[in-house]
Amino acid sequence: MMAGEVNVGVIGGGLMGREVASAFGRWFAINDSNVRPRLRAVADLDPKALEWFRQVPDIKLLTADYRELLADQDIDVVYVAVPHNLHERIYLDVLEAGKDLLAEKPFGIDLAAAQQIASAAQTSGRFVRCSSEFPFFPGAQRVVSVAQSGELGRILEVRSGFHHSSDLDPEKATNWKRQSAICGDIGVMGDLGMHVCHVPFRLGWHPKSVYAQLQKGYPERPGGPCDTWDNALLHTWVGCDDAEDIPLRFEMKRMAPGETDSWFIDVLGTEGGARFNTKQPRTLWLFSRGNEQQWKRVDLGFSTAFKTITGGIFEPGFPDVLMQMWAAYFAERDGELGDRFGCVTPAEALASHHLFAAALQSQEQNMTVELT
Ligand SMILES: NC(=O)c1ccc[n+]([C@@H]2O[C@H](COP(=O)([O-])OP(=O)(O)OC[C@H]3O[C@@H](n4cnc5c(N)ncnc54)[C@H](O)[C@@H]3O)[C@@H](O)[C@H]2O)c1
């Protein structure tokens, strides 16, 4: 094996499983990664999903039985992207097999499953992280560094959100993400929630209380009923060391008119503000207080944390930040992340579930729920 080579297996070769093959397929575009990941094995129940992976050069095993993949001694890291009702069983099996794990959110269908996964991750001693790629946009990372710098003054307000319009069309067929039995009672919070918690949690902004407004979408679609929450507004207070509590609103929507896939973070303070939205993927907005109220637009271009061959003037996109997330995963696994932004930890994924469980309670009782 070449120095730095890492053999990866994928369980769940659907939408996200294929993105991993794509990221590894052009890994040579990254200049400063010390690893060379190779996608060696894929497990999926659907033969058509498996068939797609035949075109991936390094593949040696395609199987319907993920246990066969886990029995392969050559596999170092396993990525799992399966429906939420399967997270707990499969993540625990991966850890039991002695593999490192990068796995999809929400890291368990509910709080109880997330607790099992977090505790297995800790006792296994394996390197475990949860997938959340949007904070790897350069603009998002600049919002983090500006927020950490203290130059915003007293933080007045934070909004962290993810807006889709994926459920606005009533003719769109149903799928497992619209059914609580498979997606989870937390619905859209399981679908989009980890993405909006990653940056605030990493900045140390953990909610002390939550008041939730949850809305459902269409109860029937072609192909069957839908019963999940589709939109979620979580109004929280977060505690801050040596500072006043901050109102932080988490917004997760699958019915947001005009929005295709907009992940955003806004941080406003008494001295300044910072704002990034994937609608403008290379653009950072910075506010500074003065005689005139002023928002400055900065075109950041391709200033990713892991340098690539791509010219600095170009704009980054979804496949690029997915690669950046994987580069961060491998670097941290090797103890080489340094001060760069890292992937979601099992503890952060568990904290998101505490928030979502409290949000369900808040909605049911129409009251503010305290988090301990
Ligand atoms: N990070 C992101 O941006 C992002 C985006 C979409 C989905 N996701 C997450 O990824 C996960 C999967 O979502 P998706 O959109 O890829 O779903 P998908 O339905 O496209 O793919 C899931 C795949 O899992 C396979 N599968 C089901 N049971 C299996 C089993 N027992 N063994 C092996 N394979 C099995 C299915 O056949 C399917 O191919 C979910 O946790 C979801 O929340 C993350």
Q: What spacing in Å lies between the alpha carbon of 139 and ligand 1's midpoint? A: 28
Which pLDDT score is estimated for 3? 53
- Cα separations in angstroms, 298 against 143, 176, 235, 313: 12, 40, 30, 12
Angle (CA) 204 208 211, round 5°: 120
Does a structural domain hold residue 10?
yes
- Nearest alpha carbon, ligand 1 atom 14: 15
Report the number of secondary-structure helices (H) and strands (E) in the chain. Answer: 10, 17
- For residue 110 and ligand 1, the question of a CB distance below 6 A is answered with no
Q: What spacing in Å lies between the alpha carbon of 164 and ligand 1's midpoint? A: 18
**Residue 19, helix vs strand vs coil:** helix
266, 356: one domain: yes
Domain final residue pick, 112, 130, 148: 130
CATH number at residue 87: 3.40.50.720
Which pLDDT score is estimated for 306? 97
175, 285: one domain: yes
Count Cβ atoms within 10 A of the Cβ of residue 182 and give its class: 0-12 exposed, 13-18 middle, 19 or more buried. middle
| pTM of the model as a whole | 0.97
Q: What spacing in Å lies between the alpha carbon of 82 and ligand 1's midpoint? A: 3
Cα–Cα dist 130/154, whole Å:
31
Candidate of 82, 85, 176, 191 to mutate for ligand 1, largest count of ligand atoms within 8 Å of Cβ: 82
33, 87: one domain: yes
Instruction: Kindly give the parts of the chain with pLDDT less than 70.
Output: 1-3, 241-242
Candidate of 51, 104, 322 to mutate for ligand 1, largest count of ligand atoms within 8 Å of Cβ: 104
Does a structural domain hold residue 64?
yes
- For residue 86 and ligand 1, the question of a CB distance below 6 A is answered with yes
- For residue 43 and ligand 1, the question of a CB distance below 6 A is answered with yes
Angle (CA) 125 126 129, round 5°: 120
CATH number at residue 229: 3.30.360.10
Which pLDDT score is estimated for 136? 98
83, 193: one domain: no
- Nearest alpha carbon, ligand 1 atom 25: 12
Does a structural domain hold residue 336?
no
Q: Say what percent of the chain tops pLDDT 90.
A: 96
Number of folded domains that form the chain: 2
247, 362: one domain: yes
112, 232 Cβ separation under 8 angstroms:
no
Domain final residue pick, 97, 130, 163: 130
Does a structural domain hold residue 328?
no
Does a structural domain hold residue 262?
yes
Question: 283 pairs with which residues across the strands?
Answer: 299
168, 108: one domain: no
179, 223: one domain: yes
Which pLDDT score is estimated for 42? 98
User: In ligand 1, which atom is closest to the CA atom of 87?
Assistant: 41
Q: What spacing in Å lies between the alpha carbon of 172 and ligand 1's midpoint? A: 19
Q: Residue 274: what are its φ and ψ, rounded to 5°?
A: -140, 140
- For residue 13 and ligand 1, the question of a CB distance below 6 A is answered with yes
Cα–Cα dist 207/319, whole Å:
31
140, 252: one domain: yes
Which pLDDT score is estimated for 82? 98
- Cα separations in angstroms, 190 against 31, 178, 196, 360: 34, 11, 11, 12
13, 49 Cβ separation under 8 angstroms:
yes
Does a structural domain hold residue 323?
no
Cα–Cα dist 302/49, whole Å:
32
Cα–Cα dist 279/308, whole Å:
22
- For residue 131 and ligand 1, the question of a CB distance below 6 A is answered with yes
305, 157: one domain: yes
222, 116: one domain: no
Does a structural domain hold residue 126?
yes
Domain final residue pick, 130, 152, 173: 130
Domain containing 238 equals 135-317+344-370
Identity (one letter) of the amino acid at 329? Y
In sequence order, what are the residues at sequence separation of 6 or more whose Cβ sits closer than 8 angstroms to the Cβ of residue 338? 331
Q: Which residue has the tokens 């999903």?
A: 49
92, 154: one domain: no
Which pLDDT score is estimated for 1? 44
Helix, strand, coil shares of the chain, percent, nearest 5, are: 35, 30, 35
Does a structural domain hold residue 101?
yes
119, 162: one domain: no
331, 337 Cβ separation under 8 angstroms:
yes
- Nearest alpha carbon, ligand 1 atom 44: 104
Strands 155-164, 243-253: pairing is: parallel
In sequence order, what are the residues at sequence separation of 6 or more whose Cβ sits closer than 8 angstroms to the Cβ of residue 184? 84, 85, 106, 109, 110, 190, 228
